[in-house]
Amino acid sequence: MILHITSRTEWNEAQTRGEYITPTLQTEGFIHCSTEKQVAHVANAFYRGRNDLVLLNIEEAKLEPKLKWEPPAGPPAPGISEFDSFPHIFGPINLTAVVSVLDFGPDPATGKFIFPQA
């Protein structure tokens, strides 16, 4: 399972545009993604206080752009090893590769993100 954190607004814009892009595609050459094990750590490190997020569940076999598994693009978030590999997508994500979209908010009691259970 490949996951990408985004806002509900950005996802809605992607559906209108016909593909999903991020500013990092322009600045770093790829779209950051995570695994199920990594995504809550990433959210807690970079998205604290956000209540407008969704998780894109991306099916690797349906992706049109190139996917590479690479080390963290910077210092790893707490709870993640510098030896973990992250999925990086090198091009706009075709919407047909997004197999589900899950609401992704912090736990109301703790304010921390946890992976949503089905």
What whole-number distance in Å separates Cα of residue 110 and Cα of residue 105?
A: 11
Strands, E assignment, 1-118: 2-7, 19-20, 31-32, 53-58, 66-70, 86-90, 93-94, 98-103
Q: Does 87 reside within a domain? A: yes
Q: How many domains, in total, are found in the chain?
A: 1
Adjacent-strand bridge partners of 67: 89
Residue 72 has what pLDDT? 84
Q: Does 47 reside within a domain? A: yes
Better pLDDT: 100 or 73: 100
The confidence band for 115, taking pLDDT boundaries of 50, 70 and 90, is confident
Q: Does 12 reside within a domain? A: yes
Q: Does 64 reside within a domain? A: yes
Q: Does 93 reside within a domain? A: yes
Q: Does 61 reside within a domain? A: yes
- Structural domain boundaries enclosing 74: 2-103
**CATH code of residue 21:** 3.20.170.20
Q: Does 108 reside within a domain? A: no
Render pLDDT for 11-51 as a digit per residue (tens, 0 to 9).
999 999 999 999 999 999 999 999 999 999 999 999 999 99
Better pLDDT: 96 or 84: 96
Render pLDDT for 68-89 as a digit per residue (tens, 0 to 9).
999 887 777 888 888 899 999 9
Q: Does 96 reside within a domain? A: yes
Residue 118 has what pLDDT? 54
